[in-house]
């Protein structure tokens, strides 16, 4: 039996898709009144596309931006009230080994390594989620503003028990993924030596944004051809 649709078409979304087909550079991402990420039209850019002369608008500058970037920077800089706890019963040669294996949230681990390994790491390899939809969940507990950061950034509810997932509904958005990776790359940069290297595995979904993030954090002139 064919299921009946119980709602009318979203004409706004349909119109945005039509504009995207004609002027892809005029469609961006933004947060709606409820704080949810959605596609939006850059009307200044659209006016320029439809004009034969320069259209006045915001001052142009070269930078990478997305909804949530300021929150991502806050996530990188915010302190945490945590420490590393040794697990001797699961360790091998705990007192003499020169190897360290840390299990836990990688953003918290990167913060805890800052003081001891700042500017000392020769090589970092990361394999972040590829943003194919429903493939990453992250939650970070920051000891700032009476522990309200998660609620303010939409990562938890009033009881602080909600995790933020990149669901299939918003997996097509780049902003969530950028906000996840940005603070981790910034912290990783602090750990690297001046001659250190970072290698990143990524697929076609976010390779372009990965390059842009790395150009901003590590400077473009430091990249190696692949």
Quickly count: other Cβ atoms within 10 Å of residue 76's Cβ. Answer: 18
The ranges assigned to domains in the chain are 1-61, 69-219
CB 80 within 8 A of CB 143: yes
The whole-number pLDDT of residue 148 equals 46
pTM: 0.70
199: nearest Cα among 111, 127, 107: 127
The whole-number pLDDT of residue 157 equals 54
The whole-number pLDDT of residue 107 equals 93
The first and second tokens of residue 85, run together, are 């706890």
* 10-residue mean pLDDT series, the chain (226 residues): 62 87 87 86 87 77 83 88 91 91 92 93 93 60 40 51 50 82 94 94 91 88 73
The whole-number pLDDT of residue 146 equals 37
Residue 151 CA: distances (Å) to CA of 71, 196, 201: 12, 36, 31
The whole-number pLDDT of residue 12 equals 83
The whole-number pLDDT of residue 144 equals 36
CB 212 within 8 A of CB 64: yes
CB 165 within 8 A of CB 27: no
């Amino acid at each position: 039996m064919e299921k009946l649709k119980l709602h009318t078409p979203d004409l706004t979304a349909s119109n945005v898709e039509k504009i995207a087909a004609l002027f892809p550079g005029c469609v961006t991402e933004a947060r709606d009144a409820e704080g949810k990420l959605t596609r939006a039209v850059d009307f200044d850019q659209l006016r320029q596309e439809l004009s034969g002369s320069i259209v006045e608008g915001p001052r142009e500058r070269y930078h990478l931006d997305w909804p949530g970037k300021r929150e991502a920077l806050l996530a990188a800089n915010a302190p945490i009230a945590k420490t590393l706890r040794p697990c001797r019963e699961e360790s091998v040669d705990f007192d003499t080994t020169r190897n360290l294996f840390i299990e836990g949230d990688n953003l918290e681990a990167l913060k805890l390594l800052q003081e001891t390994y700042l500017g000392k790491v020769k090589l970092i390899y990361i394999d972040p989620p590829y943003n194919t939809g429903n493939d990453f969940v992250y939650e970070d507990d920051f000891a700032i503003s009476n522990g309200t950061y998660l609620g303010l950034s939409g990562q938890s509810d009033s009881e602080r028990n909600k995790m933020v997932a990149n669901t299939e509904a918003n997996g097509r958005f780049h902003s969530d993924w950028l906000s996840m990776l940005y603070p981790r790359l910034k912290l990783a940069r602090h750990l690297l030596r001046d001659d250190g290297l970072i290698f990143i595995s990524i697929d076609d979904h976010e390779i372009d944004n990965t390059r842009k993030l790395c150009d901003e954090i590590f400077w473009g002139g430091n990249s190696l051809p692949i």
